[in-house]
Structure formats: C-alpha cells, structure tokens
Structure 1
Amino acid sequence: MAGWTVESPQRLTLDDRVTRLDVRLVSGRLNVVATDGPSRIDITQVGRRPVLIDHTDGLLRIRQERGRGWAGALRWFRSIHRYPRVDVSVAVPADVLADLGLVAGSLVVSGLRRQTTVHVTAGQITLMGLRGSTSAKITSGPVEALGVRGDLTLETVSGEVILADSAADRVRAQTVSGAITCDLDNPRHSEIRLTSISGSITVRVREDSDLAVRLHTASGRITSGFPQVRTSTFPLPSSEGVLGDGDGKLWASATSGSISLLARAVDHDGEELP
C-alpha cells in the first residue's frame, strides 16, 4: 500500500500497475488520459485542503479532503462556490476501470477502452476516443462525446448534449432542458435513442446509413433530409421510415422541441464528401 497527502503542487509516478481508478474531487479540473507508460499523477494546483491519494492492490484512489460529519458536509455544500479549486491530471493504462466524480468544474477523459463512469454536478464533461462502456451524467452543464465507440450513455438535467464523429454500437442520450446535437457514423445493428423534454434534437447520419427511423415530438416540427422518412401530423407530429437495410435503429423523441434529421453526403466509394 502506498499513500500520499498532497498539500502543494506535485508530480507522482507509480511503480505498480493501476487496474482501477476512483476519483472524487470537489471543485476544479480533472483530466484523465490513457498512457502506455507508468501511471502518473500531476497536481498543479491545491487549495487549503489537501488531496489524498492511495494505491492498494491495483486500486488508485484520489480524494479532495473535506469536513467530517454532517455539520462539515453541510458547511461544505453551502460554500461550494468558495471551495479551493484543484487541478489534477492522471495518466493510467487504457484498460483501467474508471469511476470519476467532480462536484463543480470541468472533467476531461480520453483514450480509455474498457469501462468509464463519470458524474459531475455542475460544470462540463468532455469524452474523447473512449471505447467499451461509457456512462456520463451531469446535473447542470453540457456533455460532449467525440469519437466515442462501444456502449454510450449521456444524461444531463440542464445542459446540451453534443455527440460527434461517433460509431458507437449503442447510444442513449437524454436531457431534461437542453438541445441534443449528434453527428453519427454508426456500424450495422447500432441502436440510438435520443430524448429531450425541453429542447431540440438534431441528428446527422450518412446518406448510405442502414437505419429504421422513428421520430416523435409532442410540440414542435420534424424535418428530414431523407425522402424515405415520411412525416405525419395526426395525432402528433411523427416520422417513420427505413434507410438502406434498416439493420440499426434510430429513435428520437422531444416533448417540447423540434427534430431535424440531416443527410451527410458520401461518394460512390463510401468516402465522405467535404
């Protein structure tokens, strides 16, 4: 077992392998990236309270210390905007199991390839080049996923969801108040489900996609760049149709907001056109 109490900027290199990563920070920035070399922790900013680190049996735990007991927890929550900010970067193997939490601030994860779970209360989440199973939830703020594959779940209460350059097998994107914007390049048998309570949904897919499409909105317009997807207005605005062989599924639903389905052009060799 190895442990550190970090009270000033410090860089640590771990000799033993990391198989699991568990981070819980209060306020600041967290950056997690995959590496082929030894695991590293780079803390460039520390507030009044120290950062606690321990590494035992492959589990790397990083915590930002806070008050003890219910009284301390209540004081911490009420003064979150004044809480000392930290800046932490972690480099770990790509196959690590990651569970990351941040109360307020920005969180960036890139290159992990197994299972990643992210939760932020207020701030921003950015996911880049992840594989395997990814789940990201944020209460207030946007979540962006770029070049993510595998099984992807994105949820926000108040904020925008942006998904680009994606070939995920399964996508679940949900927002209560905010827009969803997706640029999808999905393999066969993919399943995409997009839901917005109050906000628009915009989806762009390749014009040679193989998808069974269903679009529904309670109050809003539906527009489609595919003639195969036909729109009806009774009893509620909805559109259905089959693109190509229809091996995959695209389902989008908005309670209050419009839905747009756009076509991305490709040439005869299947290459995207500028």
Structure 2
Amino acid sequence: MTQSTWTVSEPQKLSFDAPVAEVRVRVVNGTVNVVGTEDDGPARLEVGRIDGPPLIVTHEHGTLTVAYEDMSWKGFLKSFEKNGFSRESWQRSAEVTLTVPAAARVELGAVGAAAVVSGIRGGTEVKGVSGDTALVGLAGAVRADTVSGSVEAQSVTGELRFKSVSGDLTVVDGAGASVRADSVSGDMVLDLDPAAGPADIALTSVSGEVAIRLPHPADARVEAHTASGSVRTAFEDLRVSGQWGAKRITGTLGAGTGTLKASTVSGAIALLRRPAADADPFTDAGGPGTPPALDKKVL
C-alpha cells in the first residue's frame, strides 16, 4: 500500500477512504479530540485554528498519523523531562478533531493541549505533559502517563493504568476490571460502578490524597495504609489500626472477591460508600468522619 502524505498549515478537512486500524497523534497546545464511531464511513480529520509549524498527516498500512515533524513518539515524556522543549517549539497550537473506527488503537501525545478520547475500544495510550485529558467510554487496555496534567476517566471498561508526577486521576462510574495508578503528589479519586462487579485496584502515592467510593454492599479484600496521613472509612466491617504515624485500614467486605490496595506516605486515604438510590448523597456518600476535601471531589 502506498503512503499518502499531507502538510496542513491552515484549517482543513480530510477524509481517508483506506482502512484505519491505528491512530497516532502528537500535538502542542490547543485541543485534540479523537472520537470512535461504529459507522462504516471513512475516517475524518478536521484541523481548525493552527498556529506555528504545520502538521504532517500520513496514512500508511492502516496507520493514520497526525503530528509535528520534530516530535517523535519514542521517548516522548523522557525527552521532555530531561531537556524540555525550547521556547520556539512552544510557539505552536492546533485544534484537531479525528473521527475514526471504534476498533482502532489510539496513541496520543500532548504537550499543553486539552485532549478528549471517546468511544475507542481498540486500546488507548496517552502521554501528556501539562494538558488535562478526558477518557470517555473506552474499552480495551488504557494507559495514561502524564507529568502534571490531570486525567478523568468516565465509563472506562478496560484495564486502566495511570502514572503521573503531579497530575490528578479521577475515575467516574469506573467499570474496569483493573486499575493501577502511581503518582508522586497527584490526588486520586475513584467512584466505582456497582454494576461492574468486583474490581482489582492498586493505588500508590507519595503525598497525594486518595478517595475511593465503593458500591454498597461492597465485595473486596481491603489493605490501605499511610505512613503519616489520616485515614477514614465508611465501612464498619473494616478495621482501622495505628494512632500515631503509620495507619492502616484492613478487612474483607462481602465475599472478598475483589482486591483494593492503596498506599501513601503522607497523603490521606478515605474509603467512601455509595449511597442507596433514595439516599441524600450529601449526607450519606462519605460516611462518618470523611475528610471534607476528599468528599467534595467525589460529589
């Protein structure tokens, strides 16, 4: 299959008749939206306002790439953390919208750009620096690595992996079988969907706060600990131990089919309980003693 290449230096719309199985996007500033669709129409690209160097668009062997010529995917975050981008390279911006088959796999690299990926079930990998990212209705494996950008995942059913220096993670209606998250100072808030069944969750942070809202009744073996932060739980079946320094929350909820592990050095940990359908969420969501700051994030 021959390669097709376009240089986009002004607002433009492109349509791709050949199949698209993989999408690779790398942008600086502006916005990027990647939308998965189940229809049989061609993949489409719309570039709105664009400032600075042009975007190079290529389609080859089922892979659609939208990127700057001087930005590679390999070592994307490591290169930034080590050397940063020159002032000249920051003077660029683009508004990019891609509509692609839902079965496609997506690789997205964003520096300072607000990103949204929705409706993709072929797997998604995001590498971000400072822009916030929203992941909506994704299936397949999902991985998000950021420096300081926050990630919000809503109705994500695949395995979710998150790693960040200071970016926050928020999971809304979490339905995935597995969540692994690691952050230095970013906060983590997870609200689990009661219809999703037992989950496998492991969260690690140095100074970030952790709040997890579980369905009621819950079904998990729980082990959460902090070296110097506070702990709160809305579940009477869990045991809180330690008064000075290290504190732990341990125990089994329901049959203990799922697993929940959370660890911080100085951050607070709160295990919240979803209210019943007819309950007042402002009084019943967190349970007694829930830290107000964490409670507000979940609500």
Contact kept, 8 Å, 2:237 with 2:251, in 1: the verdict is: yes
In the alignment, which of 5, 8, 11 is matched to residue 9 of structure 1? 11
Q: 2:21 aligns to what?
A: 19
Per-residue CA deviations over 1:119-162 (Å, capped at 9, x if unaligned) read 01111111111011000011012111111111001121012111
- Checking the alignment, whether the CA contact within 8 Å between 1:125 and 1:138 is kept in structure 2 is no
**Structure-1 separation of matches of 2:145 and 2:227:** 25
The CA RMSD over aligned residues, in Å, is 2.3
Say whether residues 1:207 and 2:209 are aligned partners.
no
Matched, 1:256 2:266: yes
Residue deviations 1:201-227 (CA, integer Å, cap 9, x gap): 111011112111111000111111101
The aligned amino acid for 2:226 is: T
Aligned partner of 1:46 in structure 2 is 50
Where 2:35 maps in the other structure, the secondary structure is strand
- Of the three residues 138, 148, 156, the one matched with 1:140 is 148
1:65 aligns with 2:69: yes
Aligned length: 267
- Name which of 235, 239, 244 aligns with 2:249: 239
Give 1:1-274 correspondences, 5 Å limit: 1-35=3-37, 36=39, 37-66=41-70, 77-79=85-87, 82-185=90-193, 187-233=196-242, 236-266=246-276
TM-score, length of structure 2 as denominator length: 0.83
Moved over 4 A (4+): 73-76, 271-274
Give secondary structure in 1 for the equivalent of 2:227: strand
* Equivalent-residue separation in structure 2 for 1:153 and 1:75 (angstroms): 25
Write the letter of the residue equivalent to 2:231: I
Q: Residues 77 and 91 from structure 1, CA distance in 2 versus in 1: closer, same or farther, beyond 3 angstroms?
A: same
In structure 2, C-alpha distance between the alignment counterparts of 1:175 and 1:169, rounded to whole Å? 20
Between structures 1 and 2, the one with greater strand share: 1
How far residue 191 of structure 1 moved from its aligned partner, in angstroms, is 0.4
Quote the Cα distance in structure 1 between the aligned partners of 2:215 and 2:242.
Answer: 26
**1: CA distance, partners of 2:172 / 2:83:** 40
Deviations 1:51-108 (A, max 9, x none): 11111111101112349xxxxx999922167411111111101110111111222111
Structure 1: any 5+ residue segments left out of the alignment?
Answer: 68-72
- Paired residue type of 1:157: V
Query: In the TM superposition, what is the alpha-carbon distance from 1:273 to its structure 2 partner?
Result: 7.9
Question: What letter matches 2:261 in structure 1?
Answer: W
Matches of 1:102 and 1:258 in 2, distance apart?
A: 30
User: TM-score of the superposition, structure 1-length normalised?
Assistant: 0.91
Say whether the 8 Å CA contact 2:28–2:90 is kept in structure 1: no
Unaligned runs of 5+ in 2: 72-79, 282-299
Identity %, equivalent residues: 38
| Greater mean alpha carbon deviation, residues 12-21 or residues 80-89 | 80-89
The change in CA–CA distance for 1:178 and 1:262 in structure 2 (over 3 A counts) is: same
